[in-house]
Amino acid sequence: MDLPRFIPIFPLPNVVLFPDVPLPLHIFEPRYRAMVRDAVAGSRLIGMVLLRDGWEAEYHGAPDVYRVGCAGRIVETTPLPDGKFNIVLAGLREFEIVTEQRERAYRQASVTWPAESVDERLPADLRATLVHVIERYTGRFGDGDARQVLGDATLGDRTLVNFFAFWLDLPPVEKQCLLEEVGGAPRARRLREVLEFRLYASQAGELEHASRRMH
C-alpha cells in the first residue's frame, strides 16, 4: 500500500504502539480533536510517538519525542456530544521522523517508512523459547489471559511478538527499544532478553529479601 510521507503525530508519555495491535484512545484536547477530524477526512493515519523524559514542562508546546514511532489507522470513531472522540487505532507500520512542521494546532511530521516484513518467520527455536519465557513471566506476574493468546495456533510470528511487546507490563522506554529493533527476529530476541532479565531480577530480589529475613 502507498503510505503518505507526511502524517499527524500524537505524542504520549506512556504509550508505544506496535503493528497489528489495536489501541483505543479517548481524544479530549482541542488540538487532537482537530487532528482526528482531519485524519478521518484524509488518510485516517495517526503516528503515535513516545515523549522523552522532561516533557511535563513543555507538554502544551512541542516537547522532545523519540524519532521512531508506529502509525495506526483509525478503524473506529465514536463522536461524543461534547466534541470529544473515542477512537480505535489499528497498528500499521513503524516510521522514523525526518522533520516536523507546525502548520496546524497539532504536530505533523515528514517521515520515512522501513521496508515491510509481513512474511518474515521466526526460527522455530526462537519462537519456542520466546513463548516459554512469556509463559513464565505472565504466570509469575498474574497475567492469566496470556495463556489463551499463546495457545492460538493461528497467531503469526509478527503478531505474537508485537502483541506481547505492547501488552506486557514493561516500562515505556523498554517498549520503545523494542519498537526500534528492525525485523521480527531481532525484536523477538530483544523481548526474550528483557523478560529473562526481569524474571532474574525479580527472583534475585526475592532471594535477597528471604536472606535478610533469616538474619
> What CATH number does residue 57 fall under?
2.30.130.40
Compute the distance between CA of residue 107 and CA of residue 131 in angstroms, rounded to an integer: 38
> Amino acid identity, residue 206?
E
**Same domain assignment for residues 131 and 202:** yes
**Same domain assignment for residues 72 and 131:** no
Among the listed residues 95, 81, 8, the one whose alpha carbon sits nearest the alpha carbon of residue 45:
8
Q: Within a domain: residue 118?
A: no
Q: What pLDDT digit, counting tens, does each position of 67-96 carry? A: 999 999 999 999 998 999 999 999 999 999
Q: Within a domain: residue 119?
A: no
Give the residue from 52, 79, 112 where a domain finishes: 112
**Same domain assignment for residues 93 and 28:** yes
**Same domain assignment for residues 107 and 154:** no
**Same domain assignment for residues 18 and 86:** yes
**Same domain assignment for residues 103 and 21:** yes
Predicted local distance difference test score (pLDDT) of residue 62: 80
Predicted local distance difference test score (pLDDT) of residue 6: 96
How many domains, the chain?
A: 2
Domain hosting 50: range is 6-112
Among the listed residues 204, 202, 50, 67, the one whose alpha carbon sits nearest the alpha carbon of residue 137:
202
**Same domain assignment for residues 100 and 48:** yes
Span 109-136, average pLDDT:
87
Pairing verdict, β 6-12 and 45-50? parallel
Give the residue from 112, 134, 162 where a domain finishes: 112
Where would I find the beta strands (DSSP E) of the chain? 6-12, 22-27, 45-50, 68-79, 85-101, 107-112
Which residue bears the cell 472522540?
Answer: 85
**Same domain assignment for residues 94 and 162:** no
**Same domain assignment for residues 108 and 146:** no
Predicted local distance difference test score (pLDDT) of residue 127: 93
Give the residue from 69, 92, 112 where a domain finishes: 112
Q: Within a domain: residue 53?
A: yes
Span 96-107, average pLDDT:
92
